Amino acid sequence: MVEYQKTISGEVSISGVGLHTGQETTITFKPAEPDTGIRFVRADLPGKPVIEVSADNAVLEESLYLTALGKGETQIKTVEHVLAACTGLGIDNIVLEVSSSEPPISDGSAQVFVKALREVGIVTLDRPKQFIEVKEPIWLYENGLELAIIPSPRLEITYKIDYDHPAVGIRSASFLITPEVFYEKIAPARTFCFLKDVDVLRQQGKIKGGSLETAIVIGEHDFLNEELRFEDEIVRHKILDVIGDLALLGKPLKGHVIAVRSGHAFNIRFVRKILKTLNGQAREQAPPLPMDAVQIRKFLPHRYPFLLIDKVVEIDYSQMKVVAVKNVTNNENFFTGHFPEEPIMPGVLLIEAMAQAGGVLLLSLSENRGKIAYLVGVDHAKMRRKVVPGDQLVIETKFTKIRKKAGKVQSTIHVDGVLVAEAELFFSLGNDA
């Protein structure tokens, strides 16, 4: 079943103090268009600079004990709980406008943000989600900290903590992350600190807004707060932090994440390793470009007179997109019978050219080598302008859904920058008999 991108139906604001600055601050959640992603806006600065949520914009510094984003001279800190609220609810596109360098800490959890987002309403957009999925395990191990992800059709997070403290000790928890599970079992879990570290952190200019109302404080022998929301609230909050930091991937993740004693800086390094590994795998399987007709025939079973693309000029595996070229000449065999006095390329062949471009991309994936891609469906096909000899077709085909044995694409054809045809195509994969 296709899953579609989501945003919120209106604006909602939350005010409070920043955990580290101690200053009054307001965050306003605003709807966003499809494929916008999650982005922060520093409303307090001239020009309202924008910081996109991405691994490239993450500030990697071990001493921060928080997740910060920076772009140029602009930074925003302590974003992990807000990001967890958005991604935990399955929101793909949203603008987070903040009136200072830090969103409000609220009670130290994501609960207030989640309730506000649910109350304003989460709406479905007309664009399919694009997930990050791993096909092989990826792991990171440093000084007793561990993070791994193994293939799974859903997001699951297992976390193990290990603190030499009588009130905490060794604990673990595992959750299948859905919006409802996140809302009920993860979002209410509060951040925490040890009383012995409070004076040091304040001497460093941090946690100016910290108190028993904004965090769990762990004393020498027990918790200083009156009660916990969950018996294992500490480990649940660590899962919340992981969910927030995984937002740096830029797309929702499918996989089973296993974490041992990880923190924000380690989470960021792991996110970057996932992206680097996936990008490396894409480069390894990519054929050399541009791809001429001889190379195209290595992937497509079509031959003259039915091979309708001359060159592949771009393949982007991260976006699952291909760009191909077809030069239309007077010598095309179909012109002898299709309006020979006024040659026009048949619309069905325009659709076939789009399908062949998608077929090259699909069949160039290492797991699909030697298979055949069958065109099994066409929706929303439109021929907007006739194609005639002398035209060069630039065919752009992008997969919006892909499974082991099926795929769905959006495809367009342009001539001299003008849209001449478009369609939504469906593929089925079979073995070459």
Q: How far apart are CA 273 and CA 151, in angstroms?
A: 15
Looking at the predicted structure, is the pLDDT value of residue 425 above 80? yes
Whether residue 85 contacts residue 117, with contact meaning beta carbons closer than 8 Å, is answered with: yes
The kind and range of the H/E element at 241 are helix 233-246
- Under the banding of pLDDT at 50, 70 and 90, the label for residue 401 is confident
Asked whether this chain's domains 4-283 and 293-431 adopt the same fold, the reply is no
Note if the bond before 166 is cis, omega within 30 degrees. Answer: no
Q: What separation in angstroms does the CA of 111 have from each of 17, 167, 232?
A: 16, 24, 16
Quick: pLDDT tens for 293-338. Answer: 899 998 899 998 999 999 999 988 767 889 999 999 999 999 989 8
Quick: pLDDT tens for 176-213. Answer: 999 999 999 999 999 998 998 888 888 887 888 888 88
Q: How far apart are CA 343 and CA 328, in angstroms?
A: 11
- Under the banding of pLDDT at 50, 70 and 90, the label for residue 41 is very high
Contacts of 398 (CB under 8 A, 6+ apart): 319, 320, 321, 322, 409, 410, 411
Looking at the predicted structure, is the pLDDT value of residue 109 above 90? yes
Where in the chain are the domains? 4-283, 293-431
**What number is the average pLDDT over the span 42-51?**
96
**What number is the average pLDDT over the span 379-399?**
95
Task: State the sign of the Cα–Cα–Cα–Cα dihedral 120, 34, 84, 44.
Answer: negative
Quick: pLDDT tens for 148-186. Answer: 999 999 999 999 999 989 889 999 999 999 999 999 999
Specify burial of residue 229 (Cβ count, 10 A radius: 0-12, 13-18, 19+). Answer: middle
> What's the confidence (pLDDT) of residue 433?
42
- Under the banding of pLDDT at 50, 70 and 90, the label for residue 64 is low
Specify burial of residue 34 (Cβ count, 10 A radius: 0-12, 13-18, 19+). Answer: middle
Angle (CA) 30-33-38 rounded to 5° is 60
Whether residue 216 contacts residue 228, with contact meaning beta carbons closer than 8 Å, is answered with: yes
The 8-class DSSP code of residue 291 comes to: B
Contacts of 197 (CB under 8 A, 6+ apart): none
Whether residue 110 contacts residue 246, with contact meaning beta carbons closer than 8 Å, is answered with: no
* SS3 label, residue 61: coil
Percent of the chain scored above 90 by pLDDT? 72
Write the Ramachandran bin of 171: left for phi over 0, alpha for psi from -120 to 50, otherwise beta.
beta
Superfamily for domain range 4-283: lpxc deacetylase, domain 2 (3.30.1700.10)
Mean pLDDT of the chain: 92
Catalytic machinery residues: 264, 338
Q: How far apart are CA 58 and CA 313, in angstroms?
A: 32
Which fold would CATH assign to domain 293-431? Thiol Ester Dehydrase; Chain A (3.10.129)
Write the Ramachandran bin of 296: left for phi over 0, alpha for psi from -120 to 50, otherwise beta.
alpha
DSSP strand pairing (145-150 vs 169-176): unpaired
